[in-house]
Amino acid sequence: MQRKKRIIYFVTLSSNASVVLRQAINESLSNEVLIFFDLDGSRVLDKRYLLELKEKESDDLEFLLQSAIDSGVKLYGCQMNVMFKQGLDCIDNVELAGVATFLDLAYEADAILSY
Amino acid sequence: METKKVIVFALHDELESAYPPLNISIGAASSGADVVLAFSRKGINMLDPSYIPTPSKGKEYLANALAEFPVPSIPELLAIATELGVRFVVPDIDLTEIQTLLDIPYEKVPLKWLLNEAATADLFVHF
């Protein structure tokens, strides 16, 4: 059986999250997909930020995140979060990770794409 | 254990794009990898002495967020990377209009050399 390719997305801007999540969900049909959210990108994993979006009647992102999780996409938030003084209050199924974790996974990746 | 070869491209100069290549380079070098950090296109601005990292439009709060946390500055990260043995390179094609660069050790290399290095690396990543 052919080995699944591993694709890693590195997202530093929250405004790119929707595009990446859509692409990741699509790619997850035939590949192993991981997304690292860093700096401003990590905001999208925070429950408070998603609640703010919901109040603005924009819950697309929450739906996309859940769809990605359901599709087997692995989501990682930056351990060294700088966006929230109180720390990230992540949605379920998100792992906090640092550079060491990224490198371990990236060494075995077939493609790394930054957004 | 085999030494990993890591090639990192810094292609942009916005604040949110400036930190990842340095953090990844430092992380890889501190775990024993041979790291080449290439500054190309707008990324070369990070080596300009007057460079001030500015977030993308609409993300100005990022600068405040970073200021509120004890995050090293770009020059500080460049110094840490230098200490760890990260090899800084600049493709010769990008150097044509640059007058002054920071006083740090860097090599001017042909782009072709860099792409060949990337093709044989254990990890090639660009930001």
What is the DSSP code string of chain B? Answer: -PPPEEEEEE---BHHHHHHHHHHHHHHHHTT-EEEEEE-GGGGGGGSTT---BPPTT-THHHHHHHHTTPPPHHHHHHHHHHTTPEEEEEGGG-TT-----SS-EEEE-HHHHHHHHHT-SEEEE-
How many C-beta atoms lie closer than 10 Å to residue B14's C-beta? 18
Q: What confidence tens digit (pLDDT) does each residue in A66-110 have?
A: 999 999 999 999 887 766 777 788 999 999 999 999 999 999 999
Give the integer Cα–Cα distance in Å for B127 and B9: 6
- For the entire predicted model, the pTM comes to 0.91
Q: What confidence tens digit (pLDDT) does each residue in B46-93 have?
A: 998 889 888 888 888 777 777 777 788 899 999 999 999 999 999 988
Q: What is the pLDDT of residue A38?
A: 92
SS3 A99: helix
- Inspect the interface and report whether the beta carbons of B62 and A40 lie closer than 8 Å: yes
Domain locations in chain B? Answer: 5-126
Residues in B closer than 8 angstroms to A99, CB to CB, are 23-24, 26-28
pLDDT at B99 over 70: no
Give the integer Cα–Cα distance in Å for B127 and B116: 18
- Inspect the interface and report whether the beta carbons of A82 and B65 lie closer than 8 Å: yes
Q: What confidence tens digit (pLDDT) does each residue in A35-46 have?
A: 999 988 999 999
Nearest CA to A65 among A6, A12, A26, A17? A17
Closest partner residue to A103 among B27, B55, B62, by Cβ?
A: B27
Please identify, in words, the CATH class of the domain defined by B5-126.
Answer: alpha beta
Residues in A closer than 8 angstroms to B65, CB to CB, are 82-83
- Residues of chain B with pLDDT > 90, as a percent, come to 65
Residues in A closer than 8 angstroms to B62, CB to CB, are 39-40
Q: What CATH number is given for A5-114 in this structure?
A: 3.40.1260.10
Sign of CA dihedral B43, B44, B47, B51: negative
